[in-house]
Amino acid sequence: MSASPLPARLRTAAARLLLPTVIVLSFAGQAVGAFLPSVPLLVAATAVGLAADIALHRWQRKTVAKFGRLHATVTVRQVVRDLLLVIGLVRLEDKSHETRYLAFVCGLLVFYGLHFACRAVAILVRRTRTLPVLTRNIDASALRLSPALPALLTHRTGQRLLVFSLPSTAGLLATAVTGSAWWAVAGIALSAALAVVSVAMLLLRLLPGRRPVTSEQALEWFEEWLTEYRPTVGMYFSGGTSSAYQANMWLEPLAKLEGRPLIVLRERFMVKHITSTDIPIVCLPKVADLMRLEHSTLKMLIHPSNSGKTSQVLRIPTIKHAFVNHGESDKLSSCNPYAKAYDEVWVAGPAARERYALADVGIEDKDIVEIGRPQLDAITPYAGAPAGPYTTVLYAPTWEGWDGNPGNTSIIEAGENIVRTLLADPLVRLLYKPHPLTGSVVPQAGAANLRIQEMIRAANAARAAERTDGRPAPAAAAELARTTAELERLTTSSFRANADDTERMLLQTTPEPGRAEAVAAATAAWESAYWASFPAWEHQIVTGARPNVYACFNAADLLLSDVSSVISDYLASEKPYAVTNTSGLLEQDFREAFPTVRAGAVLTPDASGIPALLESVRDPAKDTYVEARAELKRHLLGPSDPPSVVRFNEAARALCTKADAHRAAMAVRTLSAIPTQPDVRSALDDRQLKS
């Protein structure tokens, strides 16, 4: 049974190899066509090879990089393509006409020279437009930012060469077919003209009046903005694109804090991966520029994750730091000794406090603050048995982790058994949401993930063939399209795919009034339209950013997962859940080792307990964990009164007070260390009062 998805994997691998294979074969075809010579073969091989190369740059950029590592760069490929084409033309003519093709070669050399000139000038333009600070939701008009040139001119060097080579290649092919040299002359001249125009457009951006401000001027502007905005609370984040969700889950709680919030990023690419928010965002890639925050009014930063660059911001003595994590679980990663570097560790409830004490990683109890999980306010509470004929089961396995522990994820040993058992129940609707990092460390996890998705698609196809009930009206699909377009307009329309850093600053200047409320309303409308857009019996594979895991919580009657923060968050609903034990421990030992398991069922890798579990969900009288879930919720997430949002704000206010006290103490120490001349001390006293 597990081997059935194999053809799909083979199709995927074949699709990845198709374009590279076509390119290699096209060169072989060109060589044969040039030396025979054969005009049809030469023309066909050249045209197919160039088209495949353009498609490769459009859809398989990783493969382009692999060609580069083999020293078969796009320039080398195009030069060989043109060389074979010229050789074919020479062999098609008698020797008395060979000299005229010297002009073609010279014209191509001029074109390639212009290509390299364009590439060099593009680098200069990118450097002048790469400012030391990147912003969103801030009026950056003072930086004299102009819209970016098309990415084909500034960034996509390989695509530019291939596109600009189209006229010259077409002209040479036309000459091969017709025998008229004027086609080649015209084509090469047009390619060279395109390169000249590109160089001219790029050179215009280097004129003094067309450049943005200098780096020093940009930093001066940034310091002036800090002085005017006077931020007090903020979030610091550094990571890759796949970890952006860790920051995004804290945007709404951060926006509700008292004071003036700020988001500090370190990677330029991350700016566009932060979802729609009204909070000002600054990206400071260099450590020296990051240190300018020391003299700002920023008092505290929350940290959703640890990264190599976190230690850099922790050096700023005027800012207090709180580690909030992006989720809490019983895994060792939730008690990382790195947390000692922060001033405080903010956790959801008593369970995390106990977890740190048992881990004995050097975190003092006085530095732990319980704030609950303010993100979970949108989760709907348990309402008993499933309302409709179908039981919606959310299977959300976590990823394999960095430590190689086989018990981290169930997807390798148990995932296919779990999904197969669920799909066999005619009254189950499955929502499958794997962790975004699944397969990033252990290839077997990624392969199992693909097999599971193929199983779900096959099950949907089988159900669709035998059922006609529950199909939504055509208006449902139209409503989903409408809400999707509206949500995209509000969240991503400010970014263009080919925009560079400075243009993104220009496009994301100040937020639209009420945009945060509009985004929240549009998101709710989209979620409602999404669930209504497919039949009630149709299984769903959820791998994108929407719907998020909390929306899946609200749609589910039962959660199946691993030892992860998903369990802790899901308990906010008090709905039934089960945890898969792939650790090799006996069930009793497994429950003792991982307290979050104690209010749910434990599944073995063969998934044999799922039928009984489904029966207890459909008949609440058989659910023996109701009280245990309520108690565990309080233990994991803390009390419901005061609300988590309130506790989060109180913790932030208290940490800001500590920051104020620390700054005052630093000022006193500074004053006591200077000479006692009245004029010097008076000037410093005035400066301290102003700050």
How do residues 365-377 score in pLDDT, each as one tens digit?
Answer: 999 999 999 988 8
* Per-residue pLDDT tens digits for 415-448: 999 999 999 999 999 999 999 888 888 889 999 9
* Per-residue pLDDT tens digits for 655-682: 999 999 999 888 888 777 666 555 555 5
Residue-level pLDDT at 689: 46
Q: Is residue 630 part of a domain?
A: yes
d(CA 655, CA 295): 18
Residue at which a domain ends, from 636, 651, 667? 636
Q: What is the CATH number of the domain that holds 626?
A: 3.40.50.2000
Residue-level pLDDT at 499: 58
Residue-level pLDDT at 492: 62
Q: Are 457 and 415 a contacting pair, CB within 8 Å?
A: no
Q: Within this chain, do residues 71 and 84 fall inside the same structural domain, yes or no? A: yes
d(CA 28, CA 38): 13
Burial class (CB within 10 angstroms; exposed 0-12, middle 13-18, buried 19+) of 668: exposed
Backbone angles phi, psi at 395, to 5 degrees: -105, 110
Pick the range with the lowest mean pLDDT from 222-236, 365-379, 501-515, 662-676: 501-515
d(CA 625, CA 198): 69
d(CA 419, CA 508): 43
**Is the predicted pLDDT of residue 398 greater than 50, yes or no?**
yes
Banded model confidence at residue 166, pLDDT cuts 50, 70, 90: very high
| Position with higher pLDDT, 503 vs 273 | 273
Please provide the size of the chain in residues: 691
Q: Is residue 291 part of a domain?
A: yes
Q: Within this chain, do residues 125 and 272 fall inside the same structural domain, yes or no? A: no
Contacts 24+ apart (CB under 8 A), 528-534: 528/483, 529/476, 529/479, 529/480, 529/482, 529/483, 529/484, 530/480, 531/555, 532/472, 532/476, 532/479, 532/480, 533/472, 533/476, 533/477, 533/479, 533/480, 534/472
Structure-block tokens of residue 71: 């020293």
**Is the predicted pLDDT of residue 83 greater than 50, yes or no?**
yes
Q: Is residue 339 part of a domain?
A: yes
Banded model confidence at residue 167, pLDDT cuts 50, 70, 90: very high
For residue 282, how many C-alpha atoms fall within 13 Å in the half-sphere facing its CB? 25
**Is the predicted pLDDT of residue 345 greater than 80, yes or no?**
yes
Q: Are 369 and 651 a contacting pair, CB within 8 Å?
A: yes
Task: Classify residue 149 by its DSSP letter.
Answer: P
Q: What percent of the chain has pLDDT over 90?
A: 54
User: What residues make up the domain containing 481?
Assistant: 472-534
Q: Within this chain, do residues 338 and 235 fall inside the same structural domain, yes or no? A: yes
Q: Is residue 140 part of a domain?
A: no
Q: Within this chain, do residues 552 and 494 fall inside the same structural domain, yes or no? A: no
Q: Are 391 and 536 a contacting pair, CB within 8 Å?
A: no
Residue at which a domain ends, from 189, 207, 225? 207
Q: Is residue 362 part of a domain?
A: yes
Q: Within this chain, do residues 330 and 263 fall inside the same structural domain, yes or no? A: yes
**Is the predicted pLDDT of residue 105 greater than 50, yes or no?**
yes
The pTM for the full model equals: 0.80
d(CA 63, CA 57): 8
Q: Within this chain, do residues 290 and 427 fall inside the same structural domain, yes or no? A: no
Q: Is residue 35 part of a domain?
A: yes
Find residue 543's DSSP bridge partners: none
Q: What is the CATH number of the domain that holds 316?
A: 3.40.50.11720
Q: Within this chain, do residues 353 and 410 fall inside the same structural domain, yes or no? A: no
Residue-level pLDDT at 513: 64
Q: Within this chain, do residues 388 and 363 fall inside the same structural domain, yes or no? A: no
* Per-residue pLDDT tens digits for 252-267: 899 989 999 999 999 9
Q: How far is CA 19 from CA 57, 63, 72, 303, 498, in A?
A: 10, 9, 15, 43, 24
* Domain count within the chain: 4
Q: Is residue 491 part of a domain?
A: yes
Helix (H) or strand (E) holding 381: none
* Per-residue pLDDT tens digits for 112-153: 999 999 999 999 999 988 889 999 888 888 888 888 888 889
Q: Within this chain, do residues 76 and 89 fall inside the same structural domain, yes or no? A: yes
| Position with higher pLDDT, 685 vs 101 | 101
| Position with higher pLDDT, 553 vs 387 | 553
Residue at which a domain ends, from 349, 377, 405? 377
Give the burial string for 76-108 (b: 16+ CB within 10 Å, else e).
ebbeebbebbbbbbbbbeeeeeeeebeebeebb
Banded model confidence at residue 45, pLDDT cuts 50, 70, 90: very high
Banded model confidence at residue 509, pLDDT cuts 50, 70, 90: low
DSSP letters, 96-142, are GGTTHHHHHHHHHHHHHHHHHHHHHHHHHHHHHH--S-EEESS--GG
What is the rounded average pLDDT of the residues 341-352?
92
Q: Within this chain, do residues 458 and 516 fall inside the same structural domain, yes or no? A: no
Q: Within this chain, do residues 251 and 232 fall inside the same structural domain, yes or no? A: yes
d(CA 104, CA 188): 8
Q: Within this chain, do residues 271 and 416 fall inside the same structural domain, yes or no? A: no
Q: Is residue 146 part of a domain?
A: no
| Position with higher pLDDT, 689 vs 484 | 484
